[in-house]
Every structure is written in structure tokens, then in C-alpha cells.
Structure 1
Amino acid sequence: MKRMNPVTPVKRAALALTAAALALTACGSGTEEAKPAADGSPATLRIGYQLIPNGDLIVKDQQWLEKALPNTKITWSKFDSGGDVNTAMISGSLDIGLAGSSPVTRGLSAPLDIPYRVPWIFDVIGDNEALVARGGVTDVKGLAGKRVAAPFASTTHYSLLAALTEAGLSEADVKILDMEPPDIQAAWQRGDIDAAYVWTPTLAELQKNGGTTLVTSRELAQRGKLTADLAVVSDDFAKKYPKALHVWLQQQDRAVKLVRSDKDAAAAAIGRQLNLDPAEAGRQLGQLVLLDATEQRSADYLGTPSAPGKFAENLHSSAEFLKGQKKVDAVPELSVFQKGLATQELADAFSGS
């Protein structure tokens, strides 16, 4: 793969330094802030979110966590990709974050081996992630020799590699650029790239500005390459503050149920967070598959403590693919991914339901 973005190494280094600084700030010399509240809830809950039209933005918009955990300071930090969330998790500057299934697969594999687990599936990715091109390119094979952007170590990077392989192209056949969504949109406007695999709302902007959709993540999922947006919680936080994690899970379930009972209210909340018209926010929301707590605990997804769900197999398959692409050092045993699903915490959060 030819790396066409010389700024990226500097950007990654800056991110790592920033995350490390955040970790030091969170743990700093002020021991009073680090003490849990009198009721045992954490003094702070540090959340990494992304601009993806799912239930997490509803929870943020409605301030449900702030109301449910009144003795905890909730901090929301925006990230552009799951790779960046992994970096922040490694530095210890986040408690809970959102990352796609591909970066989580990498996070649970060597050499990263991040001490976190998956307590919730925010969404199964559908038409909200897609490969778009311009300049007369109408199929994936037509990308040979073209400049294609995707955030490295993200679900769209994984999907891009899968789409290229399916079309009989190798990474060497295209010029892949490592760019975050805001950079992709700017590069598209300048004419610096020919195609991109990215998610909404950036995807919608590219589609409105001359982009032809070549393949969507929904189509790839139907052919065995499923991707999803996942929550990751640090092992340390899950162990120290199980009740706070239960509250967090309950609010996520509440958001999914709002989508099903009052989609207009859900779309309005997401629209405020994305600065979108509610109708457009609703359209983008409809491109995702959201799962409530009962579905999360089913055999097809996270499963139960005694019977981890099939989603562990999906992560294992992703690791096998990434190993073939030389993105991970080795494929962990399936048990690693089964242990990486926080099924006990999920079960405990809804033990009365």
C-alpha cells in the first residue's frame, strides 16, 4: 500500500501526545477529583463519541447520563475514527468509547492487546458506509490506478480492502490515502481524490457532490463481511464501577427504544448533534440497524455469559482477514474474542427485564 498522506504520521503522533496529556490530566495530582462519589459512582466518566447517527448521540443530546448519574461528571470527547479511540484507550484517557468492529478486532489482537471489552453494539452498519467514486468510475474494478481515501484501521478501511479483494484488485493496484472524514470531504472538494470509503454525514456530502456509490457496507455484509459500530469499556472501569456501566447500558437501550417508539423525536435529537435537518437525520438513522438489549443478548450478537454470541465469530473472521492483509500480527483464538464480549455486565444491567 502506498501511503499518500505525509501528514498522517505527524497527526498520529500528535494524537498520542494529546491522549497521554488527557490521561495525565485525568489522573493528575488532584486526588480529590479521582475519588469516587459517596454513593460509589465514579467522579468522572470519560466518553469518546463519533458523529454517527445512532443511539449514542441521543443519549448525549438528552443528557440522560448526566441525569442518571448526578454525582458523576460526564465528559464527551469527539473522535474522527475508531483508530483514534484505540489510541486514547491505550493512553488511559477514555473509559468508554465508540469504535468500529475492525479497529476493535485490532484492539483485541496483538500487538495492541488493549485491556477493554465490548458491552454494547451501537449499530450494525448498513448503507451509511459506502465506497463512492467520481470521474466516470462505475465499479470497483475501475479504481485501478485511482486515489482512494479511507481512515486507516477503521471499518471502512476493512470494507475497502474487502471490496478490492472481491473485485480482484490488490492494495498495490490503487493509491490508498489515510484520511479522517473531515479531511476526506476537503480533499474531495479540492479534487485531490478519486474515491473514498467513508460514513455519514461525510458520505452524504460526497454523494451530493458527484459521488457514485460503488458498494455499500450493507451489500458487503450480505456477502459475509459484516461490520458494526461497537462500544468499548476499559477493563479497569468495568471492574471498579459496574453500576455506572449498567446505567450507561440502560440509557443506550432507552435510546434504541425511543427510535422505535418516536422516530421523529430521535431524529430531532440526532439532527441537533449533527447540525442536520431532522428529515435528513432520520434518513441517515434509517440506514443503520439498531439493536435493543434483548437482541444484544441473543445468540446472533453478544450472547450471554454461558453462551457467547456469534458476534465473537465475526470478530475472529475479521482478524483472519486482517492477518491476510498484514494488519495484525496473528489471529487470536476464538476464545479471546468471546472473552472480549462483556456479556456478564450486559446481563447484570438488565437482570430484571
Structure 2
Amino acid sequence: MSPLPQGPSRRLLLAGALAAVSAAVTGCSADSEAATSGGAKQLRIGYFAFPSGDLLVKNRKLLEKALPEYTIKWIKFDSGAGVNQAFLGKSLDIAALGSSPFARGISGGSPIPYKVAWILDVAGENEALVARKDTGITDVAGLNGKKIATPFASTSHYSLPAALEAAGLAASDVQLIDLQPQPILAAWERGDIDAAYVWLPTLDELRKTGTQLTSSKEIGAAGKPTLDLAVVSDELIGRDPKAIAAWRKAQAEALRLLKSDPDGAVKAVAAEINISEADAKAQLAQGVFLTPEQVVSADWLGTHSGPGKLLTYVSDTSAFLAAQKQIDAAPSEDAVRKAFYLEGLSDVVK
């Protein structure tokens, strides 16, 4: 999901952030002072209408049950850009965020004050490269000279060059167009673009009149996975680590429910994003959901004893963003490591 644009001045970004955040976030901004004062029992959580354990936590009120003395506010976002802006505006405590916008958020001289604390899912068939059927394109190599839309600096943008490279193409061999998911759909319907790399639910709309050429599942299997992470504000880490522990346990329970109660998971997702149960089942089947034990393993997030391979994945993503001139320079490995909140992770699976 796409991140916050970085310009020459973080001050300008901060000044514009509150105006740029959605009305829902603006509505909760008045609560920011109370939420960060140390006395209020409130958690403001950003989420996406995207199938993951997050929707089960919300639908089944797992966090409300674990923290009955807290007011839990769920705030919907459409992209990582909005999430990053909201953290800059101190309007969020916890939120879902793609690995690419996270990598961008921790870059620069004034990184966003948050840390990754959980993995929601690994991108699978729920993020893919699709060409319009009427172009006659049936493989990635056929995109030579064609117009491809993707949200720049997003997880899809990170995966697209890998797909082109595997097919013997360079980014310069195609016309890349920076569009968010909804404008991608509009451009697709007008015939302004030949292909797009994007995620659900827009992806399913494109598939109706498109041919899928590759997916993030295939690209991840080749060594370049992208993920949906969950980040927590530095302020919350300092103020209320017990709330973070309860939230992690709720997320772990949701991951277990995705496997132990698939029918219940389908009903929850369908209700949360207002789609049929058949569509919810199909969308869930496209995701890659780890077990809590996998999340805290060395293969992924790791524990307080040391970060897992996610450290390398985020560092690689940062290097890609720097090469694409989306950021001035990639953060050091030490800077990426400092953006991991691993304390207490091993307790989740006890």
C-alpha cells in the first residue's frame, strides 16, 4: 500500500498532514491530546478493508474483550499514505501498513515515530499484475512498450520491477504510471492503461476483464516477499506496553481463528467489508497468513533476542525506494533495526 510522499521538508509534510487525512481521522484528532496524555484509556487503530486477521479482531471485538476499560476506535484507511500522515499528525496509536510504506516512513532525517510490532499477512494472490484482455497480452514479456499503472512506492510497485526483470524487461521498457487503486480502475475502464499491479479489492474488479500475468505470491517465492505489517507509535510503546501486549494476543488469536474456524472468518470478513460470503472466502484464500509461531520466528519478525528475516526484507525495500528516487537514501541496517518493537513478542505464543 502506498506511503507518504517525501519532499524536501518534513515540516511541510507535517503541516499538511492533518488536512490530508480522511474525515474519519480528522474526527478523531480532537481525541489526540487525551489519548496521548497518559491518563486516557483509548486506542486508535487504523485498518484497511482488506482480508486479514485485523478484520476478525475488529468484528469479534477481541480487543474490546481483552481491554474492557479502554475505548477502542477503529479508523478505516485506503492507503499507507493516509496511515503515515495520521501518525505524523499523532492521530493513531496502532495501524496496518504495507512493508513499502513502512520502509519509507522510517527513512530520512526525521523518521515517523513508530515501530513494526506484528505481521498481518504476506502478500499472495491478493496482489497481482493483470493485463486487459483486449490487449491480447498473455505474459509479462508482452508488456514491452505498454502502459502499466501501480501506486508508486507501494508493495505492488516494489514487486513490479521484479516481475519485469524475471521476464527479461527493464522498467525503462514500459511506461509506468503512478495511480492509486480507485484511479487505476477508472483508467482501466477508459482503456488508458494496458496493465496494472494492485491489490484487493480493486484487483478482483480488474480480473473480470483482465488476464493475470503474475502475483506477489510468485515473486515472494522467488525471494522478494512483501507484507502487510502492523505498527505502533513510539508514544504508545512508552506509555502503555501492556495494551500492545493485549493487542498482539488478539492478533495471534485472529490468526489461529483463520485456520481453526474458516467459516467464521469468512462471515466476519464479509460483514466488515460488506461483500458476499462467497467473495470473502475467495479473497481470504488468496492471502498468506502465518501462524503466531511463524510470526515470531527467525524466518519473519523475530523476538527480543533478535530480528528475523523481515529486517532484510525491509532493508531491501528501502534500497529499492532509494534506487527509484522515492527517498533520498536508504536507512542503515541499524536504523531499520531500531524501527522494530520486539519486546514481549515471545510471550504471545506461550
Letter matched to residue 333 of structure 2 = L
Match of 2:233 in 1: 234
Letter matched to residue 334 of structure 1 = E
Given the superposition, is the C-alpha separation of residues 239 and 164 from structure 1 closer, same or farther in structure 2, using an over 3 Å criterion?
same
Match of 2:113 in 1: 115
Out of 16, 19, 37, the position equivalent to 1:17 is: 19
Distance (whole Å) between structure 1 residues aligned to residue 171 and residue 292 of structure 2: 39
Residue 217 of structure 1: how far off its partner (Å): 0.3
Match of 1:291 in 2: 290
Distance (whole Å) between structure 2 residues aligned to residue 34 and residue 312 of structure 1: 29
Equivalent residues in 2 for 1:140-155, closer than 5 Å: 140-155=140-155
Contact 1:119 1:345 in 2 (8 A): no
Letter matched to residue 80 of structure 1 = D
Equivalent residues in 2 for 1:299-338, closer than 5 Å: 299-338=298-337
Given the superposition, is the C-alpha separation of residues 87 and 35 from structure 1 closer, same or farther in structure 2, using an over 3 Å criterion?
closer
Contact 1:23 1:91 in 2 (8 A): no
Letter matched to residue 319 of structure 2 = E
Given the superposition, is the C-alpha separation of residues 13 and 215 from structure 1 closer, same or farther in structure 2, using an over 3 Å criterion?
farther
Residue 122 of structure 1: how far off its partner (Å): 0.2
Match of 1:258 in 2: 257
Cα deviations by residue, 1:38-95 (Å, 9 ceiling, x for unpaired) = xxxx432111111211100111111222232222222222111223211221221111
Residue 111 of structure 1: how far off its partner (Å): 5.0
Out of 37, 45, 48, the position equivalent to 1:47 is: 45
Residue 183 of structure 1: how far off its partner (Å): 2.5
Contact 1:56 1:252 in 2 (8 A): yes
Cα deviations by residue, 1:2-35 (Å, 9 ceiling, x for unpaired) = xxxxxxxxxx99765143956752335xx5x765
Given the superposition, is the C-alpha separation of residues 199 and 286 from structure 1 closer, same or farther in structure 2, using an over 3 Å criterion?
same
Q: Which moved more, 1:316-325 or 1:158-167?
A: 158-167
1:158 aligns with 2:163: no
| C-alpha RMSD of matched pairs (Å) | 2.4
TM-score (norm 2): 0.87
Distance (whole Å) between structure 2 residues aligned to residue 50 and residue 112 of structure 1: 26
1:81 aligns with 2:79: yes
Letter matched to residue 69 of structure 1 = L
Given the superposition, is the C-alpha separation of residues 98 and 34 from structure 1 closer, same or farther in structure 2, using an over 3 Å criterion?
closer
Match of 2:127 in 1: 129
Distance (whole Å) between structure 2 residues aligned to residue 231 and residue 179 of structure 1: 24
Distance (whole Å) between structure 2 residues aligned to residue 219 and residue 13 of structure 1: 40
Contact 1:35 1:43 in 2 (8 A): no
User: For 1:343, what is the secondary structure of its paired residue?
Assistant: coil
Residue 235 of structure 1: how far off its partner (Å): 0.8
Distance (whole Å) between structure 1 residues aligned to residue 224 and residue 178 of structure 2: 21
In the alignment, structure 1 segments of 5+ residues that lack a partner are: 1-11
Distance (whole Å) between structure 1 residues aligned to residue 16 and residue 27 of structure 2: 12
Letter matched to residue 337 of structure 2 = Q
In the alignment, structure 2 segments of 5+ residues that lack a partner are: 1-13
Distance (whole Å) between structure 1 residues aligned to residue 58 and residue 281 of structure 2: 17
Distance (whole Å) between structure 2 residues aligned to residue 34 and residue 99 of structure 1: 21
Residue 168 of structure 1: how far off its partner (Å): 4.2
User: For 1:344, what is the secondary structure of its paired residue?
Assistant: coil
1:62 aligns with 2:42: no
Residue 143 of structure 1: how far off its partner (Å): 2.4
Contact 2:36 2:235 in 1 (8 A): no
Match of 1:27 in 2: 32
Match of 2:11 in 1: none
Match of 1:347 in 2: 346
Given the superposition, is the C-alpha separation of residues 57 and 74 from structure 1 closer, same or farther in structure 2, using an over 3 Å criterion?
same
Distance (whole Å) between structure 2 residues aligned to residue 136 and residue 301 of structure 1: 39
Distance (whole Å) between structure 2 residues aligned to residue 153 and residue 45 of structure 1: 28
TM-score (norm 1): 0.86
Contact 1:82 1:99 in 2 (8 A): yes
Distance (whole Å) between structure 2 residues aligned to residue 77 and residue 182 of structure 1: 19
Q: How many residue pairs were aligned?
A: 332
Match of 1:7 in 2: none
Cα deviations by residue, 1:292-344 (Å, 9 ceiling, x for unpaired) = 32221111011121222111111112222222222222222222222322111
Match of 1:95 in 2: 93
Q: Which moved more, 1:58-67 or 1:236-245?
A: 58-67
Contact 1:117 1:234 in 2 (8 A): yes
User: For 1:286, what is the secondary structure of its paired residue?
Assistant: helix
